[in-house]
Amino acid sequence: MGMLREPLDEIQSCGLPSALEVMGERWSFMILRAAFNGLHHFEEFLGELGIARNILSNRLARLVEHGIMKREHMPDDRRKIEYRLTAKGLDLLPAMLALRQWGEKYGVGVPANPVLCDTRDGQPIAPIAIHAHDGRPLAPVELEWRNRADIGKALHAPEDDAVRPRLNVL
Amino acid sequence: MGMLREPLDEIQSCGLPSALEVMGERWSFMILRAAFNGLHHFEEFLGELGIARNILSNRLARLVEHGIMKREHMPDDRRKIEYRLTAKGLDLLPAMLALRQWGEKYGVGVPANPVLCDTRDGQPIAPIAIHAHDGRPLAPVELEWRNRADIGKALHAPEDDAVRPRLNVL
DNA sequence: GCGATAGGTATTAAGTTGCAACCTGAAACG
DNA sequence: CGTTTCAGGTTGCAACTTAATACCTATCGC
Residue nearest the C1' of D8 (CA based)? B42
Residue nearest the C1' of C11 (CA based)? A54
- What is the C-alpha separation between B104 and A21, in angstroms, rounded? 13
- What is the C-alpha separation between A163 and B86, in angstroms, rounded? 22
Range A16-91: architecture per CATH:
Orthogonal Bundle (1.10)
What are the chain B neighbours of A56 within 8 Å (beta carbons)? none
Q: Which of A9-18, A55-64, A130-139, B38-47 has the lowest mean pLDDT?
A: A9-18
Q: What is the mean pLDDT of chain B?
A: 89
A47 touches chain B (CB under 8 A): no
**Residues β-bridged to residue B151:** none
Residue contact B145–A114, C-beta within 8 A:
yes
The residues of the protein lying within 7 Å (CB) of strand C read: A 5-6, 41-44, 53-54, 57, 60-61, 71, 79-82; B 1-5, 25-27, 51-55, 58, 77-79
Q: Which nucleotides of C are covered by protein (CB under 7 A)?
A: 5-11, 14-21, 25-28
> Binning pLDDT at 50, 70 and 90, where does residue A155 land?
confident
Q: What pLDDT, on the 0 to 100 scale, is given for residue B158?
A: 64
What are the chain B neighbours of A145 within 8 Å (beta carbons)? 37-38, 114-117
B92 touches chain A (CB under 8 A): yes
Give B92: exposed, middle or buried? Use CB within 10 Å, 0-12, 13-18, 19+.
Answer: buried
- What is the C-alpha separation between B144 and B167, in angstroms, rounded? 5
Q: Do residues B132 and A135 touch, judged by C-beta distance below 8 A?
A: no
The tens digit of pLDDT for each residue in A10-62 reads: 336 789 999 999 999 999 999 999 999 999 999 999 999 999 999 999 999 99
* Amino acid making up residue A7: P
B107: nearest CA partner in chain A = A18
Q: Which of A43-52, A156-165, B107-116 has the lowest mean pLDDT?
A: A156-165
Residue ranges of domains in chain B: 16-91
What are the chain A neighbours of B155 within 8 Å (beta carbons)? 122
B120 touches chain A (CB under 8 A): yes
Q: What pLDDT, on the 0 to 100 scale, is given for residue B5?
A: 38
DSSP state of A50: -
Whether residue A9 is predicted with pLDDT greater than 50 in this model: the reply is: no
Residue contact A128–B164, C-beta within 8 A:
no
How far is Cα of residue A43 from the mean position of the Cα atoms in its chain?
24
First to last CA, chain B: 42
